Structure 1
Amino acid sequence: MTAVDEDLILTTEFESIARAVDRETVGVQLELIGGRLGVKRVPDGDHGRILNWLLLLLMPLNPGLFLHVIGQGLAVGPYRKGRARPDGILAPLDAFVGTGEWASPEAVVMTVEVTSHDSDTNQRDRVDKPVAYAQAGIPIYLLIDREFGKVVVHSQPDGDGYQDVHSYAFGRAVTLPEPVGITFETEPITDWID
């Protein structure tokens, strides 16, 4: 991500630029997190398969919640000035109806990121997003880290980050705390990590 002085680019200006970028043609999506302009590659097939696996895993848990994997944008960070596109968002099925491209995170139960194979993954997924999602009050941030072969569960958000962070190697059981409240096996992920 490239650092951008907030006086140089306003959130509304960023939104205009992001709308102008055709994700399918250009192959990237834009984010603004912690004053940093980010360019995120469109996901590869293994990335998508992991999200579909997670969607099928979570569906039977609660008919009121759904894993949105369509690139819905969220207003995150301090004062909701940031703009993120999580890989997955666990929220009620109709949480984003009528909200537009950059929705409030109030109904979000969990955000999900699957690391990409690009140079900005460390800063974006491991540093900036946990802070931005916690500042937005999102109860759980689930990071599926393909590079390091682990699942990281962030929970108990406070003003600066998540108070509780647990890391699980692929192949081990992962426990997501309430409000999700599930334990699941991660062995299937090992087939989709390249």
Structure 2
Amino acid sequence: MAQDPYTQKLLLDWFVELDTPEGFRAELVEGELVLTSLPDGHHERCISRVVSQLHLRSDFDVQFSGNKGLKLGMADGHPQDHVIPDGTIVARAPRLFRGAPPWMPCQGVTMVLEVTFTRPEIDRVAKRRCYARGGIPCYLLVDRDADSTTLFTEPEQGDYLHSRTAAFGRPLTLPEPFAFDLDTTDFL
């Protein structure tokens, strides 16, 4: 539901000052406070496998940050999104994370990674739109409930124009600047 500018400002101010309980992380996604518990081992293994392949198979230095807060675009009638991807990947901008505040702008981010956990619909829909509004070129979603990996590309007008999906166990081609087939066998 859309909120008036005063309510948007109050919600954003409250969120920024929020003292998140230990063992949880908080995000503001399309005007909704999303509080999630820390992930399980399979979730972390999927992230590790993606990051390992990015480092080993990319032809340049890839920078990775887990749980980096990003300030993204605004959804109609909601305060600015504050989202924490499972992984933030930067290609060819090695100093982007150096000195960055806890909630940094998303300019320069090449790809974000999410692995579904407690509320997969947020990763599939709301976060996808957030990342597209932020202009992040690639969004990689490892969907453990659907046993598939999807790459969303070409952000425009609040969503991604293209997507490619591969079932776990099948390769998923990552575009430039990565330019390799992501092996999803270990996600099974």
TM range (shorter): 0.7 to 0.9
**For the Cα contact (< 8 Å) 1:58–1:67, is it kept in 2?**
no
Task: Work out whether 1:75 is the aligned partner of 2:71.
Answer: yes
What does residue 156 of structure 1 align with?
Answer: 154
1:93 Cα deviation after fit: 4.2
Deviation at 1:62, TM superposition (A): 4.0
Contact 1:33/1:76 (8 A) holds in 2: no
- What is the distance in 1 between the residues matched to 2:157 and 2:59? 28
Letter in 1 for 2:85: P
Q: Is the 8 A contact 1:55 1:66 kept in 2?
A: no
Matches within 5 A, 1:4-153: 5=3, 7=7, 9-17=10-18, 20-22=19-21, 25=22, 27-60=23-56, 61-69=58-66, 71-78=67-74, 81-91=80-90, 92-116=93-117, 118=118, 120-122=119-121, 124-153=122-151
Q: Which residue of 1 aligns with 2:186?
A: 188
Q: Counterpart of 2:63 in structure 1: which amino acid?
A: F
Residues 55-83 of structure 1: CA deviation (Å, up to 9, x unaligned): 111013144322212x1100013288110
Give CA-to-partner distance per residue, 1:124-151, whole Å, 9 cap, x none. Answer: 1011011000010000000000011000
Query: Does structure 2 retain, via aligned residues, the 8 Å contact 1:73–1:86?
Result: yes
Structure 2 counterpart SS, 1:59: helix
Distance 2:36 2:108 in 1: 24
Change beyond 3 A, Cα 1:145–1:102: same
Count of matched residue positions in the alignment of Structure 1 and Structure 2: 179
Q: Do the aligned partners of 1:111 and 1:138 also contact (CA within 8 Å) in 2?
A: yes
Deviations 1:37-59 (A, max 9, x none): 11122111111111111111101
Structure 1 gaps, min length 5: none
Deviates most, 50-59 or 140-149: 50-59
Unaligned runs of 5+ in 2: none
Using the alignment, how far apart are the partners of 1:182 and 1:156 within structure 2? 18
Amino acid at match of 2:183: E
CA distance in 2, matches of 1:89, 1:62: 18
Query: How many Å separate the matches in 2 of 1:4 and 1:162?
Result: 22
CA contact (8 A) 2:96 2:108 kept: yes
* RMSD between aligned residues: 1.9
Specify whether residues 62 and 41 from structure 1 end up closer, same or farther in structure 2 by C-alpha distance, changes over 3 A only: farther
Please say if residues 50 and 182 of structure 2, whose CA atoms lie closer than 8 Å, have aligned partners that are also in contact: no
Greater shift, 130-139 or 172-181, is seen at 172-181
- Taking the aligned partners of 2:182 and 2:133, their CA distance within structure 1 comes to 27
Q: In the aligned structure 2, how far is the partner of 1:62 from the partner of 1:83? A: 31
> In structure 2, how many angstroms separate the alpha carbons of the residues matched to 1:165 and 1:42?
28
Q: Sequence identity of aligned pairs in percent?
A: 30
Distance 1:182 1:12, change over 3 A: farther
